[in-house]
Amino acid sequence: MRKTFQLLFVLFLVFAWCTTFAQDMQTSNGPIPKMKLDRAHEIVNPSQNRSTLAFGHSSIQLSTLSMPIPAGTPFTLLSPWTPPVFASSMVKTPGGQYYITEVGPPAQLFQLDPGTGAVTLVGNITGMGADQPNGIKYNPANSTYYIVSSANLYSFNLGSLTATLIGPFNTGGLMIDLCFTTAGVCYAYDLGVDNAYTVNISTGAVTLLGPLGYDANFGQGMSYDNETSTIYLSAFNNATFTGQLRTMDPGTGMTTLITDWGFDQVAPFHCDTQFGPPCPIGGPSNPNPPNGTTGLGLGSINLGWTNGVGTVNVEVWFGPQGSVTKIYDGPAVTSYPTGALQYFTTYYWWIVCKDATCGTQGPSWNFQTMQDPNIIIYEPFNDLSCWTPIGPLGLTNWSTSNTTNAGGTAPELMLSWTPSFVGETKLLSCVYNTSNPGVQHSLSLLHMCDWYADPAPSMGLGITYDGGATFTTIWTFTPVGGNVGPEVVNANYTPTASSFQFVLFMNGDSFNIDFWYVDNIVGPAIPVELKSFTAKATDGVVELSWITATETNNSGFEVERNNGSEFETIAFVEGHGTTTELQAYSYTDRNVNTGSYSYRLKQIDFDGTFEYSDVVEIDVPAPSVFSLEQNYPNPFNPSTMIGFNLAVDSKVSLKVFDVLGQEVASILNSNLVAGSHQVDFDASSLNTGVYLYRLEATGIDGTNFVDVKKMILTK
């Protein structure tokens, strides 16, 4: 696919000398050439902004569309529409209407129905002469619409469809679109000189911010998201020949790639943002932990901050990169717990201070947890400081990429097909050490291979003791007929020396893949080692006990029970994460009858992987005497559990009375088998106070048992 594109692109360049939209020395505000290039959307830099929506029009798919922001994917195609010439820009009004400009001639204005995506003609735009409307936006600070052409700024009357010239930009290039902040600051960018500017809306004079950081060409769009104070570009990158979603730094004009759309073009583009006066609620400040803190432990962290002036309610947003969610929305607080965290993970959070009518979102803060102290290897590929390409082939093919294709978080390792070669390329790690040579170790990694053609080269991971001259393969694969991954790979290896290095390798024709992505090579030093697991039955209950010698990333244990049919989970006992000290655990199973039972433990890591223990079996004898246990909890609200033991099969009555002796509830009246029993009592309908519960049991052997205990309901 890539190579077909290159051939088509060369042919296109030859053809482009004679076209209106040439790509050699000329730039264009029009549509991209209609070349068929299938390529999936690729999220390169997950943004931490709150999610919203944007609308647009694809000149390739000839359809209006919507997309989630900030992800920018997937597209939802709304309604087919073929503009007369080229649809260039989109604006949203304070009333929620959307309009699209058409470059013409004649220049025209269309209305978009955001519910259906249908487009209808409003009329011709007048007052621009031979100029074309490249961009149209609304300024909430002065309630005025503005249009940019390649060289001029216009004000625009939406009622009469008349544009009035304000003045020239004099950038020497080709202005393509503009946007406004809630305070009325005007931003615009020029694809002829690839620069961003602020614009004086009274004169059209511009002030240079700086370069865009990409080669802009053809029609593209711009929008300001008032809720997150973010400038978005629906860009078209001439270097990659793909449409892209980018954000722009309002201070420097530099853009950051968020999502690459492949061969597509979205020029009309606008976020579904809300207009109005700036929210008077002050923004949050003073984050705790301070922004950028590293090395924090795994226990729940109490996020802290100072609310802005006028705050009545707050929203708390929190999570790892790409998975930030709202964890609180309620009355104003100044702290909130995160819950348990994971090793060596960057977490993002922000606060929205609000009242009943509007809110102000604070900046995105972050912190990073500590690295697992018992990890031999941890390689997130933030850079290649620990890795060295070794020749003779493929030395320039290895790099880090700000992508997430392997399934982790950006950045990740990328092996590119170009420059192409046939043979072997290797990437050598720094030296790792182990105190247990000759003992089997384990590791995991994330990877994804973007296949191009068969026969694809073989790729994988090896271990070496001579600097990569020779290596033993730990894991390898060869893609056949399609992409591989993204997937998690788990592999075992046994070092034969205390010091060693890893080798990532590819052997074959690099031309037959596009890219290979690798991330998060992790090798724990120790497993969860279970020293013992026992069960003991006494008085109609089962006491389970177990001891671990070591633990790595141990979230905890699910306790499972089988009474002759299948195992079921009856409890969860939290683990100790990572430790090399002995840890003792126990669990009491009170919900058992007389009979035989089997128990096992399901040990679960923080990443969800799990392993079962051996099974222990136990016989639960019938209780030797009748007894009534104290309810638990006590005091309670509104429910509690009552336990009792039956020495023989019995007719049982369990009732509740108030302190005056009046019956207020009948919990049980039935025949039960010998053994231990538990019942739940829900006192939602009763008032706070002291109550008595009475058990009466008549055994099949003629035994009569009666007992009464006191319990306290507190509401």
- Cβ proximity of 531 and 541 under 8 Å: no
The structure tokens listed for 564 are 């002759």
| Cα–Cα dist 428/113, whole Å | 56
Long-range contacts of residues 487-491, Cβ cutoff 8 Å, at least 24 apart: 487/407, 487/446, 487/447, 487/448, 488/407, 488/444, 488/445, 488/446, 489/444, 489/445, 489/446, 489/447, 490/442, 490/443, 490/444, 491/442, 491/443, 491/444, 491/445, 491/461
Domains and CATH numbers, the chain: 2-271 (2.120.10), 285-369 (2.60.40.10), 375-524 (2.60.120.200), 529-620 (2.60.40.10), 627-713 (2.60.40.2550)
The residue among 158, 98, 100, 150 whose CA lies nearest residue 129 is: 150
Buried b (16+ CB within 10 A) or exposed e, 399-432: ebbebbbbbbbbbbbbbbbeeebeebbbbbbeeb
| pLDDT recorded at residue 89 | 97
Residue 485's CB: how many other CB atoms inside 10 A? 19
Is 556:575 a contact under the CB 8 Å cutoff? yes
Contacts of 50 (CB under 8 A, 6+ apart): 227, 228, 317, 352, 361
Question: Other CB atoms closer than 10 Å to residue 119's CB: what's the count?
Answer: 23
Helix (H) or strand (E) run with residue 544 in it? strand 541-562
Question: What's the confidence (pLDDT) of residue 605?
Answer: 82
Instruction: Tell me the β-bridge partners of 583.
Output: 548
Q: Measured between alpha carbons, how far is 93 from 273 in angstroms, rounded to an integer?
A: 10
Q: What is the pLDDT of residue 19?
A: 32
Relative to beta strand 365-369, strand 293-296 is parallel
* CB-based contact 132:104 (threshold 8 Å): yes
Q: Tell me whether residue 683 is exposed, middle or buried, using C-beta atoms within 10 angstroms of its C-beta: 0 to 12, 13 to 18, 19 or more.
A: buried
Q: How far is 700 from 582, CA to CA, in rounded Å?
A: 49
**Could you check whether the bond before residue 411 is cis, i.e. omega within 30 degrees of 0?**
yes
Q: Residue 526: its pLDDT value, please?
A: 53
* pLDDT score recorded for residue 37: 47
- 278-300 pLDDT, tens digit per residue, is 778 998 999 999 998 988 887 78
Calculate the alpha carbon distances from 571 to 561, 590, 601 in Å: 10, 12, 10
CA atoms of 368 and 570, how far apart (whole Å): 34
Going by C-beta distance under 8 Å and a sequence separation of 6 or more, which residues neighbour residue 711? 630, 631, 634, 635, 636, 640, 690, 691, 692, 693
Non-local CB neighbours of 485 within 8 Å, separated by 6+ positions: 406, 407, 446, 447, 448, 449
CA distance 510 to 707: 82
Give the number of residues written for the chain.
715
Q: Residue ranges of the chain with pLDDT lower than 50?
A: 1-25, 36-38
pLDDT for residue 409: 80
Amino acid identity, residue 614?
Answer: D
The structure tokens listed for 381 are 């590929």
Say if strands 639-646 and 255-262 run parallel, antiparallel, or are unpaired. Answer: unpaired
Helix residue spans in 507-620 (DSSP H) = none
Please measure the distance between the N-terminal and C-terminal CA atoms of the chain and give it in whole angstroms: 69
Collect all residues with Cβ–Cβ distance below 8 Å to 159 and sequence separation of at least 6: none
